[in-house]
Amino acid sequence: MSNPKLQAVLDRIDADFDNSLERLFSLLRIKSISADPAFAGDCKAAAEHIAKDIATLGFAAEVRPTAGHPAIVAKANGSMDGRPHVLFYGHYDVQPVDPLDLWHRPPFEPVVTDHADGRKIIVARGAEDDKGQLMTFIEACRAWKQVAGSLPVDITILIEGEEEVGSKNFVPFLEANKAELKADFALVCDTGMWDPNTPAITTSLRGLVYDEVKIKAANRDLHSGVFGGGAQNPIRVLTRILGGLFDDNGRITIPGFYDGVKDLPPDVLEQWKKLNLTSETFLKPIGLSLPAGEKDRLLIEQISSRPTCDINGIVGGYIGEGSKTVIPSLASAKISFRLVEGQDPAKIRKAFRDYVTSRIPADCSVEFGDHSSAPAIALDWNMKPLAAARRALTEEWGKEAVLMGSGASIPIVADFKRTLGLDSLLVGFGLDDDNIHSPNEKYDLKSFHKGIRSWARILAALAERNP
Amino acid sequence: MSNPKLQAVLDRIDADFDNSLERLFSLLRIKSISADPAFAGDCKAAAEHIAKDIATLGFAAEVRPTAGHPAIVAKANGSMDGRPHVLFYGHYDVQPVDPLDLWHRPPFEPVVTDHADGRKIIVARGAEDDKGQLMTFIEACRAWKQVAGSLPVDITILIEGEEEVGSKNFVPFLEANKAELKADFALVCDTGMWDPNTPAITTSLRGLVYDEVKIKAANRDLHSGVFGGGAQNPIRVLTRILGGLFDDNGRITIPGFYDGVKDLPPDVLEQWKKLNLTSETFLKPIGLSLPAGEKDRLLIEQISSRPTCDINGIVGGYIGEGSKTVIPSLASAKISFRLVEGQDPAKIRKAFRDYVTSRIPADCSVEFGDHSSAPAIALDWNMKPLAAARRALTEEWGKEAVLMGSGASIPIVADFKRTLGLDSLLVGFGLDDDNIHSPNEKYDLKSFHKGIRSWARILAALAERNP
């Protein structure tokens, strides 16, 4: 380490860590569930909470309305010509918390506790995704400001409140505020590490198509004693359609689904084989042992480079205690596809809907509901920031930072490129066992602490004129 | 009509009809949902309400505990040797009311309103099944008692509170009280008419096996971005299994399912063809047009004499508003089978479970939940009461009463035969469009009024020594 200012910043981060944690807790206590309109007030409160906090760091911070939950735009420009200008992105909204009865503690009462294997963890909805992650960056800015009086680069912080529901209103907001959001590149903190001790930069992301299917049969619920055998049952229709989505080899059967999907280059496949991702390490911790994807693919391909389909929810008929001999009039399911390079989200959605529609009996009807859609992304990294960030991460963690593909989708990355012309650098500190979108979401205390230190180093590295 | 006493009873029924309706409404206001433990107090209240009412008719009426919701035993014995002694059966418990938002009015606030086609109807949960039906009998007894001072036959009224949840505790109650429940035969009022103007006596009933399947995959909910493609999804497993239950011809694919099922005798099939039950008359009113059962069978066979399978409920993953990219850890379904003569409920349940179990991936698990089970019943009717009841019904309605098969199950009929040695006479006034077990359950005002008059006539006919 040749930068005495940076060392002072890192020392400050260590000394102030209990306060950093308390500030994260304050944010985690706000129930900012974007999917449920009942929590709109909480979303607004979260935005105001963050804007007020960032303002104390010298940012000109504003809570800005969108057609949905508000966004935050905060600028700290040093006005020094030639300094890099970064746009930092995160989101304050969180996933719904159901099934609530599987949480060991109330989801919005954060605590630090011990993981089964001894790791210290922060448990709460949003602990990782994305409140914990975005606070690593804000806390790094705070330490720089407090120690050095200013930030090493020009920064615009942009935080949205609808990432978990597809950013439908946020993308028009980007379009409408292009000029104001100009920067050299984006920093996105919503991804993970390779393992608890190995940092990573994510260089490819799967896309997403999320659809909803509602099948209607009779004009009312029926008694199976009177109508059973004669009347069509929409759950029967739905399960028959969904039950046919996969063949015996785990391949998706929708015509045209794999069109345009390329095999991995042989050298990448060789590299991935060496990473040795096995069922033992990847599936055993979640109680499984058999890779569920295409049988002729490696597990790492199944989760990173191959397109997938998951039924995320299904409901129809009587789901209470006991029994009811009903033939329901409605049944519905939520289905999503993870896409890879070469697949067009609009074509995939249409192919799925055609597949379903062609299997609906003549006297039943089907309705579809649009949710998110985003293409897959392969980032082209010949840019300076990648090397700088990789060096900074390697210094902080003492292990070479891995460049990896992610199975998840971060649609905003494509939106930044399209609307603002920005490439994104994806650095995050999540782990596969963080239970994001699930009960008992957690963030390793180490991820939070070393995440803050990592950003402090990355900001310093980005500021170096001749790295 | 040769019986002046009977004529006075019928006149009394007409004159007192508004009060009969008000008494039915009092019972309908009690939320006696047996499936949900939250309504246990309401079930007890319904039992006490009925017992108190019957006691005013000269019955020695008692609310009797069972291991579940209480039963009512009420005896009015004339002690006249040689009089027939009938055991009347009904149930005060009702089905759950969900989905509540499809009800046009609160389900426990009964009203008389106009059906779309002009018929007057009583709307409430239980309006037909079985509170409306059982009150036809009680009101007939009331009129006999008030006009003649006594009942024409010896009567034991037996009302249970767990019919809608499988009568698990009621059957042991029958066993334990055999001696007290002795009678010549049973009258069961829980079935329907042929059409709104044609009375019917039901002479065969389908059986029922109701099962629940819970499939477990991972040890927690997962994020499809991280695990999608690699981790098994229990909804995928469940829909694949349920989606394979029917072949392209509507036949159930479970091995052995049709073992022992006989074709209809040719003369019965000819009779049924003449009844001319068509998609136009039977399916169109419920918004459907295509018979959903075995393609090589008549619609009337599909709903009366053929075994069937229905998925009554299914749930898994995220079912709230919006989207959630979750791979759930659990998925479950409720499935029921209507059985016909020759099928053994225990064998069918085992065949279904074997079918499911053999299709569960090695690293997933399945649990089953038992609900009702009852064999099909074909009643052998060479007994005097059938002829007497048929004559009485034909006189009241002005149309020959039809002897018909029912697609529904009334397990108690088998239990009466097995435990008490009693044959049952099944007379009821329900209609196919009564929405039983569904939102907006109704009972035709005509069914209620002429149902009371029908029982008054049946009691008189049963009392005739030489019919």
pLDDT, tens digit (0-9, with 9 covering 90-100), for A328-376: 999 999 999 999 989 999 999 999 999 999 999 999 999 999 887 888 9
Q: A320, A342, A374 — which closes off a domain? A: A374
pLDDT (tens digit per residue) in B305-314? 899 999 999 9
Q: Are A107 and A101 within 8 A, CB to CB?
A: no
Six-digit token pair at A455? 């950003």
Q: What is the pLDDT of residue B223?
A: 86
On the question of pLDDT at B466 being above 70, the answer is no
Q: Which two tokens stand for residue A196?
A: 């608890």
Contact A220/B102, CB-based, under 8 Å?
Answer: yes
Q: What is the pTM for the complete model shown?
A: 0.74
Q: Is residue A279 part of a domain?
A: no
**Together in a domain, A364 and A225:** yes
Task: Say what the pLDDT of residue A466 is.
Answer: 45
Residue B300 lies in a domain: no
pLDDT at B465: 60
| Contact (CB<8Å) B231/A289 | no
At residue A336's C-alpha, the angle toward residues A331 and A340, to 5°, is: 160
pLDDT score of B216? 98
Q: Name residue A310's beta-bridge partners.
A: A336
- Whole-angstrom distance, CA of residue B163 vs CA of residue B131: 12
Tell me the C-alpha distance between B150 and B398, whole Å. Answer: 28
Q: pLDDT class for B467, splitting at 50, 70, 90?
A: very low
C-alpha to C-alpha distance for B135 and B50, rounded to whole angstroms: 10
Rounded-to-integer distance, Cα A47 and Cα A36, Å = 16
Contact B236 A242 (CB under 8 A): yes
* Domain assignment present for B46: yes
Query: Which residues lie below 8 Å from residue A172, measured CB to CB, with a gap of 6+?
Result: A66, A67
Contact B226 A436 (CB under 8 A): yes
Tell me: the pLDDT tens digits for A420-447? 999 999 999 999 889 998 899 999 999 9
Query: With an 8 Å Cβ cutoff, are B286 and A328 in contact?
Result: no
Nearest residue of chain A to residue B35 (CA atoms): A322
Give residue A377's region: left, alpha or beta (phi > 0; psi -120 to 50): beta
Q: Give me the pLDDT at residue B2, please.
A: 63
Averaged pLDDT for residues B202-219: 94
Please, what is the end-to-end C-alpha distance for chain A in angstroms? 13
Residues of chain A short of pLDDT 50, as ranges, are 466-467
Residue of chain B nearest A102, judged by CA positions: B220
Q: Are B222 and A286 in contact (CB under 8 A)?
A: yes
Shared-domain flag, residues A62 and A169: yes
- The beta strand positions in A397-447, using DSSP E, are 402-406, 424-427, 442-444
Verify that A95 and A223 share a domain, yes or no: no
The answer to the question of residue B118 being in a domain is yes
Percent of chain B, pLDDT > 90?
79
Q: Which of B322, B345, B374 is the last residue of a domain?
A: B374
If asked whether residues B312 and B195 sit together in one domain, one would say no
* DSSP SS3 for B13: helix
Whether B288 and A363 lie within 8 Å, measured CB to CB: yes
Alpha carbons within 13 angstroms on the beta-carbon side of residue B294 total 17
Same domain, B177 and B255: no
Interface probe, candidates B305, B326, B412, chain A, greatest A C-beta count within 10 A: B326
Q: List Cβ neighbours of B329 (8 Å cut-off, separation of 6 or more).
A: B216, B217, B218, B219, B220, B221, B222, B234
What separation, in Å, do the N-terminal and C-terminal C-alpha atoms of chain B show? 13
Helix (H, G, I), strand (E, B) or coil at A6: helix
- Report helix, strand or coil for B202: strand
CB spacing of B312 vs A220 below 8 angstroms: no
pLDDT for A94: 97
A and B: number of Cβ contacts within 8 A: 360
B116 lies in the same domain as B257: no
Is the distance from CB of A95 to CB of A128 less than 8 angstroms? no
State percent of chain B over pLDDT 70.
97
**Tokens matching residue A238:** 């739905």
Looking at the fold, whether B223 and B329 belong to one and the same domain comes out as yes
- Alpha helix stretches (DSSP H) within A57-212: 131-148, 170-176
Inter-residue contact B442 to B115 (CB < 8 Å): yes
Q: What is the pLDDT of residue A115?
A: 92
Cβ <8 Å between A312 and B328: yes
CB atoms within 10 A of CB A45: 16
Please name the member of B220, B235, B287 whose beta carbon is closest to the beta carbon of A314: B235
The answer to whether residue B69 is domain-embedded is: yes
Residues B286 and A222: beta-carbon distance below 8 Å: yes
Contact: A320, B290; criterion CB under 8 Å? no
Question: Residue holding tokens 């108190």?
Answer: B52
H helical segments located in A276-357: 279-282, 299-304, 345-357
C-alpha distances (whole Å) from B301 to each of A222, B78, B272, B281, B466 are 18, 44, 8, 15, 37
Name the domain count of chain B.
2
Query: A70 to chain B nearest CA, in Å?
Result: 18
Q: Which domain holds residue A178?
A: 4-205+376-463
Indicate the helix (H) or strand (E) that contains A405: strand A402-406
Q: Identify which of B35, B239, B361 has the shortest CB distance to residue A239.
A: B239
Whether residue B287 lies inside any domain: the answer is no
> b/e map of B315-349 (b: 16 or more CB within 10 Å)?
bbbbbeebbbbbbbbbbbbbbbbbbbbebbbeebb
The dihedral region occupied by B154, where left means phi > 0, alpha psi between -120 and 50, and beta the remainder, is beta
Of residues B372 and B418, more confidently modeled? B418
Say if residue B117 is in the same domain as residue B64. yes
The one-letter amino acid code at B148 reads A
Which ranges in B345-421 belong to alpha helices (H)? 345-357, 384-397, 412-415
Strands of B131-267 (E only): list them: 154-160, 185-188, 200-205, 207-216, 222-223
Nearest residue in chain A measured CA to CA from B206: A225
**What CATH number has the domain bearing residue B198?**
3.40.630.10
Q: Please tell me the number of Cα atoms within 13 Å of B127 on its side-chain side.
A: 33
Domain termination residue (choose one: A357, A374, A391): A374
The residues facing B211 across adjacent strands are B335, B370
The tokens 């098994």 sit on which residue? Answer: B232
Report the alpha-carbon distance of residue B389 to residue B384 in Å, rounded. 9
Q: Hey, are the CB atoms on B435 and A325 less than 8 Å from each other? A: no
Please report whether residue A273 resides in a domain: no
Which residue of chain B is at minimal alpha-carbon distance from A371? B323
B411 shares a domain with B318: no
Does B347 share its domain with B324?
yes
The 3-state DSSP class for residue A187 equals: strand
B307, B206 in Cβ contact below 8 A? yes
Token digits of residue A445: 């205390």
Looking at the complex, report in whole angstroms how far the Cα of residue B62 sits from the nearest Cα belonging to chain A: 28
Dist. CA B88–CA B181, nearest whole Å: 10
Q: Indicate whether A352 and A320 sit together in one domain.
A: yes
Beta bridge partners, A208, equal: A338, A374
- Residue A7's φ and ψ, nearest 5 degrees, are -60, -40
CATH number of the structural domain spanning residue B320: 3.30.70.360
> Judging by DSSP bridges, how do beta strands A154-160 and A85-91 pair with one another?
parallel
Whether B322 has a pLDDT exceeding 60, the answer reads yes
Q: Is residue A276 part of a domain?
A: no
Q: What is the mean pLDDT of chain B?
A: 93
Is A213 within 8 Å of A368 (Cβ atoms)? yes
Which of B229, B321, B437 lies closest to A324 in CB terms? B437
Find the mean pLDDT for residues B283-296. Answer: 95
Which among A231, A288, A302 is the nearest to B288, CB-wise? A231
Site from B123, B167, B239, B336 to mutate, A interface, most A CB atoms within 10 angstroms: B239
pLDDT in the model for residue B265:
82
**B-chain residues within 8 Å CB-CB of A232?**
288, 290, 292
Tell me the C-alpha to C-alpha distance, in Å, between residue A46 and each of A65, A86, A126, A331, A338: 13, 23, 12, 36, 30
AA identity, residue A43: C
Q: CA-CA distance, B217 to A406, in Å (whole number)?
A: 23
Shared domain for A385 and A368, answered yes or no, is no
